[in-house]
Structure 1
Amino acid sequence: MSMTVKEVSKLVGISVRTLHHYDEIQLLKPDNVSSAGYRLYSEENLDTLQQILFYKELDFPLSKIKAILDDPSFDKYEALSNHRNRLLERRNRIDNMIQTIDQTNRYLKGEIQMTNEEKFTGFNFNDKQYEEEAREKWGDKTIQEANKQINEWTTDEKLSKEEEMNQIFRTFAELRTGSPDSEKAQSTVQKWYDYLNSNINYTYTLDVLKGLGDMYVTDERFMNNIDKFGTGTAQFIKEAIDIYVNNQQ
């Protein structure tokens, strides 16, 4: 049974203008048009719209969504499984952040004590919001291989790896008022470099490492997250990485 654009708009809760835009950019073209020129959406069109909205919920740009849906290898069952896993990851992270906020409120009121580690529970630098940009920069195959190793970790292993990563950033934060070319700073860069190459199924060259350092200060999302360990931490890491790379070349 076909549905008009107004009926789809009412059913889904998105505007008619948005549906028209999806048609114009060929992201979602209705299967039929009535004799009067009205768009008519099929059941299959609605299934596609559902996929589009799942990807939008996960912050994918429309251009990338179109490329994914147009790919001959696209598998809607696999896509739904991936949507579910990503949303569960997001929910778990949000739950942790809410818990951290509640604990911090009690800590500020003097009701409880809170360790520095507990203050940063929920901050995860492996967040999926960066994955699409990484895919565009390094390609789907590279990211899939990198994720494969991570996805094989148990929950305890993931928590342990995340804590190891956070400890490296806490060390950088403690060192940030000193010199980035100090022995301790450079050994911490080495530890971060080793962490990346041993835990992610991707070869981080010195050039890639330098690119990451640059991104820590040019991308506000990275800088804001890293600076939660202490203002200026991101800039310090970038400078320490630059020195490390120069010394290794």
Structure 2
Amino acid sequence: MTDRAALELSLNQLLEPARFKDYGPNGLQVEGRAEVGHLVCGVTASLALIDAAIAAKADAILVHHGLFWRGQDGRVTGWMKQRLARLIQRDINLFAYHLPLDAHPTLGNNAQLGARLGWVADARFGEQDLGFSAAVEPTALDALAARLRVVLDREVVVVPGDGRPLRRVAWCSGGAQGYFEAAIAAGADVFITGEISEPQAHYARETGVAFIAAGHHATERYGVQGVGERVARDLGLSWQFIDVDNPA
């Protein structure tokens, strides 16, 4: 058991949100009860996750995608009202960390995704150094795609490059398709992220650098688990990860 302020301090010290220019507020987004004994972690503060956390008797929820984003309609209606009502009625704290949870060098989404694939980043690239890159033993694109399907347990979208052996991989979890050009400039033979937009297929064909879209949700399941486990251990909390499946 700990208190809300100690949990917030531990998360902020670990993730350093002040370092990042982000799309929404990082940290405590909804204040709940002062004492925290059980922490539930998930990718997105959806109604399904909140309801599952209530069933799990959570005192606090830690997510990557919170409730509030820059440019959002500020009215508390519809889905926003439903989510907030659940949290407030049950007095549950909601903590959200977006870019800080992508960027942490060992516990973040990118570091944890790399670890599951056997990669340790030796370089960073892109805006705010969110992209990770590593030298790997030469491998074929088909073999890498098959490995991703197994590790992430989902289908992936593959746009081949020029067929070169893959010696340097670059990756950035979630919706980081806009980092593809930076990955190319950083010397990648393949770039892995969650989503693909129309331009990236052309860039892959024209530059020879392969592109793999492995799922926004699927590539961002691991940071909250790494951070949740760490703070729970440090503060003497019980914790669990609840995965609300998302095809995106």
TM-score range, shorter chain: under 0.3
| Greater C-alpha Rg | 1
Work out which structure has the larger RCO, using CA pairs closer than 8 Å and 6 or more positions apart in sequence.
Answer: 2
What TM-score results when the alignment is normalised by the length of structure 2? 0.25
Higher strand share: 2
